[in-house]
Amino acid sequence: MKYLGALLTMCLGLAALSCGGNRTANAAAEGTPTELKARLMGDFRADSAYAHIERQVSFGPRVPGSEGHHACRNYIINTLERYAADTVIVQDAEVTAFNGDRLPITNIMASYNPDTQRRILLLAHWDTRPWADLENTRELREKPILGANDGGSGVGVLLEIARNFQLIDPEIGVDLLFVDAEDYGNSTGFVENTESWCLGTQYWTEHMPYKEGKLLPAYGVLLDMVGGKDARFHQEMFSIQNAPNVTNKIWAEAAILGYDDVFIPSQGGAVTDDHIFLHKAGIPTVDVIETVNEHTGTFPPTWHTHADNMDNIDKHSLEAVGRTILNVVYKEKNS
Ligand SMILES: [Zn+2]
């Protein structure tokens, strides 16, 4: 993904203003462990999401065409089948990257209640970046990153959500989509190069596996870099523009669960990511992504570096995201 910009002054002002309010809401939402448990729907376990990330990282970088990529593809498919998804669609294809590289890609979609008209889409990219653009030396920049957070984290949370669906069926239809080749884009120059990113999602929107006459998902939620240390998720700019109600719903649910130290209800940066292409295809989508990191003011400090490894994965961030999204899904009614 690529950072496009931010209204930082306005943002910081809002964050400062909302500080006092957050503490009050937090105290109100925390309650006793029994009370929190009563508000939680499902049984999202951060340990399990973490283990799924560890497993992906153990395959090495998941650059399209690499050995690690192939192993991870099979791991995601096998895990979804083990958690008894109703259907698992495997979409193998070949796309061309901005530099001419031919990439063998695989998009994977697991569906729950596939015949239910009202449905939502949860997605994450599972590939990892072939370069470490933000490293200081050319030698380090040319090596692929491990992508524990950037790639691994969203997948880890979605797989743990899949385990929950095996235990408690959601009332609506849900599609879990794992898209490939998000992170093979062109980060050089002053042009945005938007189309060079998210190749898997672009392919998917051109070949969406929804039957003729069937409604598209009402909305999508993209999880990208959701496992960073002390992560804070501001509301990404295109998400507010394209899916304001869903954005509000997610941040409100986080506050109910006491995660308003993680989900900050003010505007963050604007990002080129998979949600842009889904919106164009008719599925308004929210990107849960860290764009106002407290150290960098933008993405987390490990972004596109070799520090994007298991040492920098935070179970509290995974828990906040997983539990919030699971609650949002389980509260959706089929009417
Ligand atoms: Zn990335």
Least confident piece of the model among 7-11, 89-93, 275-279, 329-333 = 7-11
Average pLDDT over residues 60-83: 98
Helix intervals (H) in 142-267? 154-167, 199-206, 237-242, 244-256
pLDDT computed for residue 105 by the predictor: 98
Average pLDDT over residues 110-122: 96
Domain of 306, CATH number, reads 3.40.630.10
- pLDDT at residue 21 greater than cutoff 80: no
The Cα–Cα gap between 330 and 216 comes to 19
- pLDDT at residue 37 greater than cutoff 90: no
Q: Per residue in 266-299, pLDDT tens?
A: 999 999 999 999 999 999 999 999 999 999 999 9
Tally of structural domains, the chain = 1
Q: What is the pTM of this model?
A: 0.92
- pLDDT at residue 201 greater than cutoff 90: yes
pLDDT computed for residue 215 by the predictor: 83
Question: What is the Å distance from ligand 1's center to 38 Cα?
Answer: 36
Output the six-digit token pair for 270.
Answer: 């604007």
% of the chain with per-residue pLDDT over 90 = 84
Question: What is the Å distance from ligand 1's center to 185 Cα?
Answer: 9
CA atoms within 13 A on the CB side of 329: 30
**Contact call for residues 54 and 310 (beta carbons, < 8 A):** yes
> Cβ contacts of residue 333 below 8 Å, gap of 6+?
171, 172
Question: What is the Å distance from ligand 1's center to 133 Cα?
Answer: 10
Tell me the residues surrounding ligand 1 (ion) with CB < 5 Å. 150, 183
**Contact call for residues 112 and 166 (beta carbons, < 8 A):** no
pLDDT computed for residue 8 by the predictor: 42
Output the six-digit token pair for 145.
Answer: 């990153």
The candidate with the shortest Cα–Cα distance to 8, out of 296, 300, 292, is 292
pLDDT computed for residue 213 by the predictor: 67
| Burial of 19: CB neighbours in 10 Å, binned 0-12, 13-18, 19+ | exposed
Question: What is the Å distance from ligand 1's center to 173 Cα?
Answer: 29
Question: What is the Å distance from ligand 1's center to 155 Cα?
Answer: 14
- pLDDT at residue 46 greater than cutoff 50: yes
How many other β-carbons are positioned within 10 Å of the β-carbon of residue 89?
14
Question: What is the Å distance from ligand 1's center to 48 Cα?
Answer: 23
Range of the structural domain that residue 201 is part of:
2-331
Higher pLDDT, 161 or 6: 161
**Contact call for residues 68 and 58 (beta carbons, < 8 A):** no
